[in-house]
């Protein structure tokens, strides 16, 4: 469904993606793991056309979205849902309005029908009676739930998750993990999750891909990745500071 | 040789500044053209425009009223001391009215609105940028320029003339209260001279100016917010820069607009 | 209390702005607290230069009223003064336009006359007025006085410089001394007589003063008339003299003609033949002669000329315009065309007939109610006829820069307002029509700008309160008056 071929991208002469190849399987949860600052978010943003590659193709259902014009890209984006790291809820709108936003923008439904869908989506992510609240009144976990409800409002075929569990306590993180799995089962959508949380990765993933030095160095079912021979993969899974992977930030000091 | 090095460094610094300036100017122009194009593409977000009109216009009313009335008053005070030397106190009214309608009404209103609404635009859009709300709009197939910038620019262009005419009016009233009430200038001469000297063109040109300033302040506020980077600190920087740049641009363009009009 | 909606707030705010703008631009009002009280008197001035409405009227430097109005009457300035009700002035009051300071403002000063004079009634007019001293004329007068003075002093100094002059001067002085001495003696001798003469003279001069003061006005008029008459006469004589001079010198056409003998002969011949023709006509010979002699023909011609004249006069005000405009609708990517005929019997009034080709078509709604077994069903059928034209028929009236229209707009009843700016080059219009109960009214805003005489561009926002049909449009139009059409049609070269 999503295919990235030989993607190269650099910011200010620092190469982030270096000839990356990746294929996302339809109807599965693919978790991309890697170091912080290693280009995972950049990779995710390529898939929805927020960032265009310097080289290579991003094929979504066979169409190279990196070459599309704005109008066609927008049409394509309607089949996407994305949950941002900080949920990215609109501060000026209530929770209900946030979830209703894509419906109002892209459907001709009446207000009453929209309200019903909003209620249903909020219930689906486990929230009740929050539609009138402002995002600032919600906890981090609840905000992510609302963000997810907004992402699935248009029943997208592809859902992207940008570090869904980062910054949450383990219990809430687990709840969000379950929500990701439930949502995927419920909608049968193709899910791409980026994460550096090993525990949650192996809880939810159908496929795990490891990003390192601008390339996918390992991809496969969780068990296969766990038993990978690649020392970098092993180091990341074990979570030790010694190994081929150095602390990214230490290098700069 | 040391001298040559200094000169080269100087040229480099100036050149870099110049390139940065041209780059920024180009981005502002891009934003302007993009918002022009997007403002013509349906659907029109009447509600969003009204919301911004309320924010830029209605909510600035009090500050504009205060600015206008006291500016008019102090202008009458100062003009009186000058004109008394020639026993031409009757000209105070027309001086106040001309200054308000041509210059002070549009400029002071725009500066006040820049401080109030231009900064808020930069802060709001900047926050939306750093919390990925603008990216979220993109992912929901909504163009943030259309959704965020266009209503603000339209509101700026439409509301500044309205605020300015109110500022003109209360400024003239302020001048009248000081001139006639406090300084005992004859009200007949005061009003008659004003009506005699002020032309309809003065008022209209002032309003055209105000619309231009509205465009400048909303465009720069949006530009600084839209291209914010660097977290909370970046938002703060964007806000400050938006106010400073917009204010300076308003004063500079005022000169050229005045030269072109009068 | 219900909170105001954003739309209401913004609308209210904008309306306030527009009201202030309208108030300021029309300048009808003044800053006044309540209506004026008092009474009006009038003063006629030769010049009211520098005087403006609303300036104060003072008596002995105390403000007693203000100038209400300044109009022109028989070549003089009629100034209406509004005086406070508690101020009384006599009929012999004098009004003067004064200046405060050298460059200051003008005001009206009233100088009261004798206290026993009868009081001035409201609406009365002030007899004695003094117009403002114009600095220019003042300076000019001073200048000519100075010049005269210089001549006199020059002459005197000339007399003194010559020796002869000095001698004669001495003689004069001597004579004067003698004269004074003689006079002195005579006076001493005839003291009584002189006293009597002087008394008589005093009485005479008193009489004379009385006569002249009662007949002062008429005297002044006589003198003025005389001066005017002699002025005219002088000018006429000069002009006449110039002409005759020219003729004598053979200048100008007439001069040359008269001087040239051949011309005179030709003219004589022409006159002779003219007289012959006239005689023939008089006798009823020839076609023209017959026509002229026939009374009926003459009357007919007269009547025709009168009616043509009438028609032409009416025609001057009567105008017809043909206008085509096309609007490109951005959203639906369609063209909407208007063909209109504007009949304008008066400058400030016109009738508009318009055909509209709307791609959206006309929607017809039929509501049928059926009752079957006590159950009422209502059927609403909407039909859209794509090819149908809509039509408009409106009546328009203009007040200053504001025009109002009412009538049929695109086959619906409605009203509209037009605001004319920059010598009618820019017209802002707002139309509202189709006030059906179950639909939002159709509101249309447009701006027409005419950069060239027959071509204009237009842009606006159509049906902007409705959710469905709202869209921007942009377009252009052509505009011709009957005059233009006439020139266009007759402008084609006609072979001779």
Q: How far apart are the C-alpha atoms of C41 and C81, rounded to whole Å?
A: 5
For B60-81, write each residue's pLDDT tens digit.
Answer: 899 999 999 999 999 998 888 8
Lowest-pLDDT choice from A149-153, A240-244, C245-249? C245-249
Provide the pairing of β-strand A63-64 with C426-433: unpaired
Average pLDDT over residues C121-150: 76
Q: How many A-B residue pairs are in contact by the CB < 8 A criterion? A: 50
More confident call, C475 vs B89: C475
Q: Does the beta-carbon distance from B192 to C54 stay under 8 Å?
A: yes
Q: Does the beta-carbon distance from B133 to A70 stay under 8 Å?
A: no
Chain B contacts to C (CB-CB under 8 A) = 40-44, 46-47, 50-51, 53-54, 57-58, 61, 86-88, 90, 161-163, 165-166, 168-169, 173, 176, 186-189, 191-193, 195-196, 200, 203, 207
> Which pLDDT band, with edges at 50, 70 and 90, does B121 fall under?
very high
Q: Is B197 exposed, middle or buried (0-12, 13-18, 19+ CB in 10 A)?
A: middle
Residue C27, pLDDT > 70, answer no
Q: Are A31 and A191 in contact (CB under 8 A)?
A: no
Encoded tokens for C416: 């509209």
Residues 6+ apart with CB under 8 A from C350: C342, C343, C344, C395, C396
Q: How far apart are the C-alpha atoms of C178 and A216, rounded to whole Å?
A: 143
Average pLDDT over residues A24-50: 85
CATH superfamily of A1-79+158-166+176-253: P-loop containing nucleotide triphosphate hydrolases (3.40.50.300)
Least Cα distance to B240 among B60, B109, B119 occurs for B119
Residue C489, pLDDT > 80, answer no
Residue C15, pLDDT > 80, answer yes
Residue C363, pLDDT > 90, answer no
Sheet containing A63-64, strands listed edge to edge, beginning at the edge strand earlier in sequence: A14-24, A2-11, A55-60, A63-64
Q: Does the beta-carbon distance from A91 to B139 stay under 8 Å?
A: no
For A106-116, write each residue's pLDDT tens digit.
Answer: 888 888 888 88
Q: Given this model, what pLDDT does residue C31 score? A: 37
Q: Which residues of A touch B140 (CB under 8 A)?
A: 77, 101-102, 105-106, 150
More confident call, B231 vs C223: B231
Q: Is A77 on the interface with B (CB under 8 A)?
A: yes
Lowest-pLDDT choice from A7-21, B108-122, C204-218? C204-218
**Cα C443 from chain centroid?**
39
Domain ranges of chain C: 39-133, 137-214, 260-317, 319-488
> Which pLDDT band, with edges at 50, 70 and 90, does C307 fall under?
low
Can you spell out the DSSP letters for A15-73? Answer: EEEEEEEEEEPTTSEEEEEE-TTSSHHHHHHHHTTSS--SEEEEEETTEEGGG--HHHH
More confident call, C53 vs A193: A193
CA dihedral C325, C329, C332, C335 (to 10 degrees): 20
Residue C104, pLDDT > 70, answer no
Encoded tokens for B229: 């980077």
For B34-64, write each residue's pLDDT tens digit.
Answer: 888 777 776 777 888 888 998 888 888 999 9
Provide the residue count of chain C.
496
Q: Which residues of A touch B142 (CB under 8 A)?
A: 105
Q: Given this model, what pLDDT does residue C362 score? A: 57
Least Cα distance to C395 among C386, C404, C387 occurs for C404
> Which pLDDT band, with edges at 50, 70 and 90, does A208 fall under?
confident
Q: Which residues of A touch B132 (CB under 8 A)?
A: 84-86, 88
Q: Given this model, what pLDDT does residue C128 score? A: 80
Q: What topology does CATH give the domain C319-488? A: Porin (2.40.160)
Q: Are A84 and B135 in contact (CB under 8 A)?
A: yes
- Report which listed range, A27-36, B160-169, C59-68, C205-214, is most confident: B160-169
Q: Is B135 on the interface with A (CB under 8 A)?
A: yes
User: SS3 of A130, please?
Assistant: coil
Q: Given this model, what pLDDT does residue C393 score? A: 87
Q: Is B127 on the interface with A (CB under 8 A)?
A: yes
Q: Given this model, what pLDDT does residue B167 score? A: 93
> Which pLDDT band, with edges at 50, 70 and 90, does A130 fall under?
confident
Q: How far is CA C118 from CA A105, C90, C130, in A?
A: 86, 6, 21
**Residue C460 C-alpha, separation from nearest chain B C-alpha, in angstroms:** 10
Lowest-pLDDT choice from B104-118, B210-224, C147-161, C225-239? C225-239
> Which pLDDT band, with edges at 50, 70 and 90, does B211 fall under?
very high
Residues 6+ apart with CB under 8 A from C492: none
**Mean pLDDT for chain C overall:** 73
For C374-417, write each residue's pLDDT tens digit.
Answer: 666 666 666 665 656 788 889 888 887 788 898 888 888 888 98
User: B24-63: string of b/e by CB count within 10 Å (b at 16+)?
Assistant: beeebeebbeebeebbeeeebbeebbbbbbbbbbbbbbeb
Average pLDDT over residues A153-182: 85
Residue C252, pLDDT > 60, answer no
Q: Given this model, what pLDDT does residue C11 score? A: 84
For C327-353, write each residue's pLDDT tens digit.
Answer: 888 777 778 888 888 888 777 788 888
> Which pLDDT band, with edges at 50, 70 and 90, does C373 fall under?
low
Q: Which residues partner with C413 through β-bridges?
A: C408
* Region at B165 (left for phi over 0; alpha for psi -120 to 50; beta for the rest): alpha
**Residue C22 C-alpha, separation from nearest chain B C-alpha, in angstroms:** 10
Q: Which residues of C touch B192 (CB under 8 A)?
A: 52-55
**Residue B193 C-alpha, separation from nearest chain C C-alpha, in angstroms:** 8
**Cα C68 from chain centroid?**
20
Provide the pairing of β-strand C106-111 with C125-126: unpaired
Residue B229, pLDDT > 70, answer yes
Q: How far apart are the C-alpha atoms of A23 and C322, rounded to whole Å?
A: 67
Provide φ and ψ at C226, rounded to 5°: -60, -45
H/E element, B232: helix B231-261
Q: Does the beta-carbon distance from B165 to C102 stay under 8 Å?
A: no
Residue among C6, C104, C470 whose CB faces B51 most closely: C6
Q: Is A161 on the interface with B (CB under 8 A)?
A: no
Residue among B46, B196, B207 whose CB faces C52 most closely: B196
Q: Given this model, what pLDDT does residue C92 score? A: 83
Q: Which residues of A touch B46 (CB under 8 A)?
A: none
> Which pLDDT band, with edges at 50, 70 and 90, does B220 fall under?
very high
- Report which listed range, A78-92, B37-51, B155-169, C276-290, is most confident: B155-169
Residue C230, pLDDT > 70, answer no
Query: For a pLDDT cut of 70, what percent of chain C falls above it?
Result: 60
Residue among A49, A75, A84 whose CB faces B136 most closely: A84
Residue B27, pLDDT > 80, answer yes
List the single residue in C with minimal CA-CA distance to B101: C24
Residue C148, pLDDT > 60, answer yes
Q: Which residues of C touch B189 (CB under 8 A)?
A: 52, 54-56, 105, 107
* Region at C145 (left for phi over 0; alpha for psi -120 to 50; beta for the rest): alpha
Q: Given this model, what pLDDT does residue C437 score? A: 55
For C187-226, write each residue's pLDDT tens digit.
Answer: 677 677 767 767 776 776 777 666 666 666 666 666 676 6
For C426-449, write each residue's pLDDT tens digit.
Answer: 888 988 888 765 566 788 888 998
Q: Does the beta-carbon distance from C63 to B186 stay under 8 Å?
A: yes
More confident call, A249 vs C424: C424
> Which pLDDT band, with edges at 50, 70 and 90, does B243 fall under?
very high
Q: Are A149 and A114 in contact (CB under 8 A)?
A: no
User: SS3 of B9, please?
Assistant: helix
Residue C456, pLDDT > 80, answer yes
Q: Given this model, what pLDDT does residue C329 score? A: 81
Q: How far apart are the C-alpha atoms of A76 and C221, rounded to whole Å?
A: 98
> Which pLDDT band, with edges at 50, 70 and 90, does C466 fall under?
low
Q: Given this model, what pLDDT does residue B66 score? A: 93
Q: Does the beta-carbon distance from C101 to B90 stay under 8 Å?
A: no
Provide the pairing of β-strand A80-83 with A63-64: unpaired
Q: Which residues of B touch C13 (CB under 8 A)?
A: 53, 57-58, 61, 162
Q: Are C462 and C473 in contact (CB under 8 A)?
A: yes
User: SS3 of A250, please?
Assistant: helix
Which residue is listed with tokens 């926002």?
Answer: C461
Provide φ and ψ at B134, rounded to 5°: -70, -40
Q: Which residues of B touch C470 (CB under 8 A)?
A: 42-44
Domain ranges of chain A: 1-79+158-166+176-253, 85-155
Q: Given this model, what pLDDT does residue A186 score? A: 83
Residues 6+ apart with CB under 8 A from B49: B150, B151, B154, B155
- With residues binned 3-state (H G I as helix, E B as strand, rest as coil), the percentages for chain B, rounded to 5, are 90, 0, 10
Residue among B41, B54, B200 whose CB faces C10 most closely: B54
Residues 6+ apart with CB under 8 A from C385: C361, C362, C364
Q: Is B46 on the interface with A (CB under 8 A)?
A: no
């Amino acid at each position: 469904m999503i295919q990235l071929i030989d993607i190269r991208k650099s910011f200010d002469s620092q190469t982030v993606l270096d000839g990356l190849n990746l294929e996302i399987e339809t109807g599965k949860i693919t978790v991309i793991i890697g170091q912080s600052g290693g280009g995972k978010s950049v990779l995710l943003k390529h898939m929805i056309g927020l960032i265009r590659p310097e080289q290579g193709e991003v094929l979504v259902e066979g169409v190279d979205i990196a070459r599309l014009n704005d109008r066609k890209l927008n049409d394509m984006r309607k089949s996407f849902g994305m949950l941002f790291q900080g949920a990215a809820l609109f501060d000026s709108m209530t929770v209900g309005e946030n979830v209703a936003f894509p419906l109002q923008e892209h459907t001709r439904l009446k207000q009453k029908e929209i309200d019903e869908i909003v209620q249903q989506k909020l219930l689906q992510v486990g929230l009740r009676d929050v539609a009138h609240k402002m995002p600032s009144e919600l906890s981090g976990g609840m905000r992510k739930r609302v963000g997810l409800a907004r992402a699935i409002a248009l029943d997208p075929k592809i859902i992207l998750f940008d570090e869904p569990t980062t910054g949450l306590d383990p219990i809430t993180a687990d709840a969000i993990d379950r929500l990701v799995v439930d949502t995927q089962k419920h909608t049968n959508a193709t899910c791409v999750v980026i994460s550096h949380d090993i525990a949650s990765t192996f809880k939810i993933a159908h496929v795990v891909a490891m990003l390192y030095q601008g390339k996918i160095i390992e991809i496969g079912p969780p068990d296969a990745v766990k038993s990978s021979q690649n020392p970098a993969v092993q180091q990341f899974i074990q979570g030790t500071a010694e190994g081929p992977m150095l602390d990214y930030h230490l290098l700069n000091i | 040789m040391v001298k040559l090095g200094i000169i080269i460094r100087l040229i480099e610094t100036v050149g870099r500044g110049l390139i940065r300036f041209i780059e920024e100017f180009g981005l502002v122009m891009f934003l302007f053209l993009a918002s022009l194009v997007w403002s013509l593409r349906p659907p029109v977000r009447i509600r969003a425009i009204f919301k911004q009109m309320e924010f830029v216009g209605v909510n600035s009313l009090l500050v504009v009223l205060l600015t206008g009335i006291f500016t008019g008053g102090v202008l009458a005070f100062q003009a009186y001391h000058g004109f008394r030397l020639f026993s031409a106190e009757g000209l105070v009214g027309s001086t106040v009215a001309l200054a308000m309608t041509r210059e002070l009404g549009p400029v002071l209103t725009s500066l006040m609105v820049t401080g109030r609404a231009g900064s808020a635009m930069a802060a709001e859009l900047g926050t939306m940028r750093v919390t990925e709300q603008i990216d979220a709009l993109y992912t929901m197939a909504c163009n943030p320029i259309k959704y965020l910038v266009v209503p603000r620019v339209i509101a700026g262009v439409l509301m500044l003339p309205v605020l300015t005419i109110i500022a003109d009016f209360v400024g003239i009233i302020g001048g009248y209260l000081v001139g006639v009430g406090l300084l005992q200038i004859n009200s007949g001469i005061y009003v008659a001279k004003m009506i005699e000297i002020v032309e309809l063109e003065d008022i209209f040109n002032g309003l055209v100016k105000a619309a231009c300033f509205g465009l400048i302040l909303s465009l720069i506020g949006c530009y600084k917010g839209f291209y914010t980077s660097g977290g909370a600190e970046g938002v703060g920087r964007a806000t400050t820069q938006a106010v400073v740049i917009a204010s300076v641009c308003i004063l500079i363009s005022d000169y050229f607009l005045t030269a072109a009009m009068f | 209390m219900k909170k105001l909606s954003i739309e209401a707030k913004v609308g209210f705010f904008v309306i306030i702005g527009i009201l202030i703008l309208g108030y300021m631009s029309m300048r009808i009002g003044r800053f006044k607290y309540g209506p004026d009280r008092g009474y009006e008197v009038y003063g006629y001035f030769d010049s009211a230069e520098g005087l403006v409405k609303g300036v104060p009227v003072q008596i002995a430097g105390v403000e007693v009223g203000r100038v209400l109005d300044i109009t022109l009457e028989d070549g003089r300035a009629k100034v209406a003064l509004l005086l406070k009700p508690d101020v009384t002035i006599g009929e012999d009051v004098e009004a003067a336009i004064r200046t405060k300071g050298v460059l200051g403002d003008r005001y009206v000063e009233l100088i009261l006359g004798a206290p026993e004079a009868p009081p001035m009634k409201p609406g009365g007019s002030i007899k004695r007025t003094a117009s403002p001293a114009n600095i220019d004329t003042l300076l000019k007068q001073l200048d000519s006085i100075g010049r005269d003075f210089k001549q006199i002093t020059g002459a005197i100094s000339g007399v003194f410089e010559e020796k002869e002059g000095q001698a004669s001067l001495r003689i004069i002085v001597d004579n004067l001394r003698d004269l004074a001495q003689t006079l002195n003696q005579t006076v001493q001798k005839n003291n009584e007589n002189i006293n009597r003469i002087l008394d008589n003279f005093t009485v005479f001069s008193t009489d004379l003063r009385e006569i002249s003061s009662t007949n002062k006005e008429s005297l002044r008029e006589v003198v003025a008339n005389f001066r005017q008459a002699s002025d005219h006469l002088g000018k006429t004589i000069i002009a006449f003299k110039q002409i005759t001079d020219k003729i004598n010198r053979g200048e100008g056409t007439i001069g040359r003609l008269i001087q040239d003998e051949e011309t005179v002969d030709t003219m004589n011949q022409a006159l002779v033949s003219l007289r012959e023709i006239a005689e023939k006509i008089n006798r009823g010979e020839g076609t023209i002669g017959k026509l002229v002699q026939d009374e009926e023909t003459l009357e007919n011609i007269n009547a025709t000329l009168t009616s043509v004249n009438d028609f032409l006069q009416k025609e001057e005000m009567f105008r017809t315009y043909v206008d085509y405009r096309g609007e490109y609708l951005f959203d639906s990517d369609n063209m909407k065309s208007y063909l209109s005929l504007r009949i304008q019997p008066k400058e400030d009034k016109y009738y508009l007939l318009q055909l509209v080709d709307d791609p959206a078509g006309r929607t017809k709604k039929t509501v049928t109610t059926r009752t079957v077994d006590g159950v009422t069903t209502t059927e609403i059928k909407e039909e859209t006829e794509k090819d149908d034209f809509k039509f408009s028929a409106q009546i328009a009236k203009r007040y200053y820069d504001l025009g109002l229209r009412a009538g049929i707009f695109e086959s619906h009843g409605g009203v509209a307002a037009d605001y004319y700016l920059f010598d009618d080059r820019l017209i802002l219009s707002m139309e509202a029509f189709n006030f059906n109960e179950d639909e939002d009214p159709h509101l249309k805003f447009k701006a027409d700008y005419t950069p060239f005489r027959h071509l204009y561009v237009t842009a606006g926002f159509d049906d902007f309160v409705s959710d469905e049909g709202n869209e921007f449009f942009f377009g252009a139009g052509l505009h011709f008056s009957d005059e233009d059409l006439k020139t266009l049609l007759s402008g084609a070269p006609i072979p001779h």
